[in-house]
Amino acid sequence: MTDPTPAPEESAGHSGVPLVVLEGVNKHFGDLHVLQDINLTVHEGEVLVVIGPSGSGKSTLCRTINRLETYESGRISIGGEDLPEEGKALARLRADVGMVFQSFNLFAHKTILENVTLGPVKVRGVKADQAKKRAMELLERVGVAHQSAKYPAQLSGGQQQRVAIARSLAMEPRVMLFDEPTSALDPEMINEVLDVMVQLAKSGMTMIVVTHEMGFARKAADRVVFMADGAIVESNTPEEFFTNPQSARAKDFLGKILTH
């Protein structure tokens, strides 16, 4: 069992305090060994990019960290606490882990502002006027405050994804997971979402980002993890990973995404 996670002093831009820790995590879908002995530590303030071919288990990894999927063996802890199985503790954990998916999943029949205030009011017990004030600050931060009274369908994909980020941030998460947040967007909208994510990274947020956007990885990531066939194959700085991949799998994958 090898731990591909470098010692904290090897990667810059974070505190060195472990926040999300996976130890020997295994998961199957029937015969498919979708997560194979995953060992991974993400530190407070660290930005980790997860990259790898389609079907390698990246989404399953994110969903397992957020407990949207169960796992069979190993341990996952957040802030030193093991992942709860169910109940109130699980609801609290879900609020601690923000997640932004490829599809924006906004509530279609609620305004942009309501989409952002709903969680804090219902789950965190924040007072309505306070939730609204905070939501407007977050919508300002992601550049869509002027759209707050509209409904999701009235916004572009890029704007909706920025609202989805604001909605997650409104829950005051300790870590944000992004699963290919720009892959459903028209090309001209990708950068406006990536810019928000780069700002978030600079603000010190702990982030796990599944993306093939190398520009983002180079600009914002402390570390890149390469997954193939359910296993972590490489873990390195973005510079090292992109210029000097070690494994045949990573070389092959980078060859494909760089030349298309």
Ligand X SMILES: Nc1ncnc2c1ncn2[C@@H]1O[C@H](COP(=O)(O)OP(=O)(O)O)[C@@H](O)[C@H]1O
Tell me which residue of 233, 200, 222 sits closest to 58, measured CA to CA. Answer: 233
Q: Does 32 bind ligand X (CB under 6 A)?
A: yes
- Site for Mg ion (CB under 5 A): which residue of 59, 147, 160, 168? 59
Q: Binds 107, which of ligand X, Mg ion, none (CB < 5 to 8 A, cut-off by type)?
A: none
Element (H or E) spanning 26, and its range?
strand 18-29
Q: Binds 20, which of ligand X, Mg ion, none (CB < 5 to 8 A, cut-off by type)?
A: none
Q: Does 28 bind ligand X (CB under 6 A)?
A: no
Overall residue count recorded for the chain in this entry: 260
- Site for ligand X (CB under 6 A): which residue of 5, 11, 41, 56? 56
Q: Does 152 bind ligand X (CB under 6 A)?
A: no
Distance CA 210, CA 212 (A): 7
Number of residues that bind Mg ion (CB under 5 A): 2
Q: Does 115 bind ligand X (CB under 6 A)?
A: no
Judged by CB under 6 A, which stretch of 51-59, 117-125, 128-136, 147-155 contacts ligand X? 51-59
Q: What is the amino acid identity at position 61? A: L
Cβ neighbourhood burial of 53 (10 Å; 0-12, 13-18, 19+): middle
Judged by CB under 6 A, which stretch of 17-25, 57-65, 127-135, 199-207 contacts ligand X? 57-65
Q: Does 58 bind ligand X (CB under 6 A)?
A: yes
φ/ψ of 72, rounded to 5, equals -95, -35
Q: What is the amino acid identity at position 83? A: L
Residues 224 and 237: beta-carbon distance below 8 Å: yes
- Return the number of the residue (58 or 167) whose C-beta is nearest Mg ion: 58
Looking up tokens 């397992």, which residue turns up? Answer: 64
Query: Which parts of this chain interact with ligand X (CB under 6 A)?
Result: 29, 32, 34, 52, 54-60
